[in-house]
Structure formats: C-alpha cells, structure tokens
Chain A
Amino acid sequence: AQSVAQPEDQVNVAEGNPLTVKCTYSVSGNPYLFWYVQYPNRGLQFLLKYITGDNLVKGSYGFEAEFNKSQTSFHLKKPSALVSDSALYFCAVRKFNTDKLIFGTGTRLQVFP
C-alpha cells in the first residue's frame, strides 16, 4: 500500500536555527513527492515537489527538501527559521499511476522568537 508518514506532530525551533520536518514514504514505482504549507484558516499552498533528477529540491520561501531513495525519505529543510514559518506542513505522494495525492497527517512547525 502506498502511504506517507510524518512522524512528528509538532516541531519546535528557535528563530534563526535550521529546521527539519520529516517525511517518509512507501510507493510503487517512481515516487512523486510534494510539500505543502497551511497557514491558519487558509488553504494549502504548494512549496516544492520532487519528480526526478537532483535529490535536493528548492522551493518557495527558502525551503528545500532532500530526496533520499535508500531511506525512502523526503525531509523538508530550511537553513534559518523565521517566526512567520510557523504553520502546518503536509507531505504528499502521488498514488502510483493515478492523478491522486496521498497526504500525511501534517506536522505543526512552531518557530519561537
């Protein structure tokens, strides 16, 4: 079965420190992976995606994600966190041979001043 897991319900980090939000996946075929962010009372916003090629994907707002095939992971990273990065982050994987995404349960990122 295809799935995506976000093992941390919440991640706390101090402003200016690097942040990592973890995601692992299980898919058939090539993995197509996405990160979305949701600010309070808003819809999801696309951050970045991995389709193929370079394992380090750069996205919006200074975020990047590293695809690791051997560890089946796609962790979201940012070198220096901002208070305004505080939000709910979702990892998603495209279900094999479909046009449907499977979402993780979300990780709440809290950046403290």
Chain B
Amino acid sequence: NAGVTQTPKFRVLKTGQSMTLLCAQDMNHEYMYWYRQDPGMGLRLIHYSVGEGTTAKGEVPDGYNVSRLKKQNFLLGLESAAPSQTSVYFCAVARTGGEPDTQYFGPGTRLTVL
C-alpha cells in the first residue's frame, strides 16, 4: 500500500501560471485535507473534503480551488499563481470525523512561484 501520495514532488511556476496538485490515497478514507507549511507558521488548512463530491474552505482558501470527483483523489488548483503561494503543500487523509481520528500525511509538494 502506498498510503498517501502527492504529485508532483517539486514544481517551479512563474507568476500567473496555473497548476494542479494531485493527492491520491489507497486507504479508503473519507476525509481529505490540503495544508500549506510555511516557516514559523506551522501547517495551515487550505481546503478539505468530508467525502466524494464535497469540499469546504479551511483557514487560508483564497487563491486555491479543490475538487473531489473520486473518493481516492483530492485535487488542489492554483488558477493564477502568486509568489505568496510559494510553500510546501501537504495532503492528509482521515478515516472519519466521529472520534477524533488520526490524519495521515503525504510526502509533500514543494512549490516555488517566481
């Protein structure tokens, strides 16, 4: 089992370009999350999904869009990249929202916007 995978691992964009980050899981978990990690700020939630076909905003959603067309995939899109979106992006999955469940993280995508 691969667990949680993220594609790509690294990417460099120019300001204004667009891209999509893919998170894929083989854990059959309902909940999926996108975070960004910046030095000195910990992890901040961008968007999340509680099941196939659903999405919701997190703490810092501006400039990002998401889709969850299939249970196993959660896509994060940047329509017009800005230097402020330079960050490391992590996807996480969790089984359920009942008892506080453990979130399992992917290896991350390092994005640089020039």
Q: How many residues of A contact B (CB 8 A)?
A: 22
Chain A positions 46 through 74: 1 when the CB is less than 8 Å from some CB of chain B, otherwise 0: 10010100000000000000000000000
Interface contacts (Cβ under 8 Å), in number, total 50
Given contacts A42-B108, A43-B107, A49-B102, contact A99 B40 (CB under 8 A): no
Q: How many residues of B contact A (CB 8 A)?
A: 25
- Which residues on A sit within 8 Å (CB–CB) of B104? 46
B113 at interface, CB cutoff 8 A: no
**Which secondary structure dominates where chain A touches chain B?**
loop
Q: Which residues of B contact A (CB under 8 A)?
A: 4, 31, 33, 40-45, 48, 50, 58, 90, 92, 94, 97, 99-100, 102-108
Q: Which residues of A contact B (CB under 8 A)?
A: 9, 32, 34, 36, 41-46, 49, 51, 90, 94, 98-101, 103-106
The 7 residue pairs across chains A and B that have the minimum distance between CB atoms: A43-B105, A99-B97, A32-B100, A103-B42, A103-B43, A44-B105, A105-B42
